[in-house]
């Protein structure tokens, strides 16, 4: 079950009106926050994005700072609640 969840494809949805905080995110940060929402670990994300693990961690820190969030879990919840994650 967990593996099937992580293997799903996710797309980045267009930013909607009240998702103003997400306008601060770069396209790469939006890709990463979508992966966070799907629960994909940093090591696995880096392979999918062609980035080093440390680069992904830096992007996650930037996402948390820009959206004034305290954890990766809060970032994942934010992405879902603000319509950044949609099924393909």
Question: Which phi and psi (to 5°) does residue 18 adopt?
Answer: -90, 10
What is the domain extent for residue 47?
Answer: 2-87
The domain that holds 15 is classified in CATH as 1.10.10.10
Number of domains, the chain: 1
Q: Give the H or E element holding residue 11.
A: strand 10-12
The per-residue b/e assignment along 56-75, b for 16 or more CB within 10 angstroms, e otherwise, is beebbebbbeebebeebeeb
Per-residue pLDDT of the chain (88 residues; tens, 9 = 90+): 333 334 444 444 444 433 556 678 999 999 899 988 888 765 665 556 778 889 989 999 999 999 999 999 999 999 999 998 876 5
This prediction's pTM: 0.68
């Amino acid at each position: 079950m967990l593996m099937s969840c992580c293997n799903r494809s996710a797309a980045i949805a267009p930013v909607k009106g009240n998702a103003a905080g997400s306008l601060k995110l770069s396209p790469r940060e939006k890709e990463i926050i979508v992966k966070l929402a799907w629960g994909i670990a940093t090591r696995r994300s880096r392979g999918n994005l062609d980035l080093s693990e440390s680069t992904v961690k830096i992007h996650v820190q930037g996402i948390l700072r820009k959206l004034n969030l305290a954890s990766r879990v809060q970032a994942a919840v934010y992405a879902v609640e603000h319509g950044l994650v949609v099924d393909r």
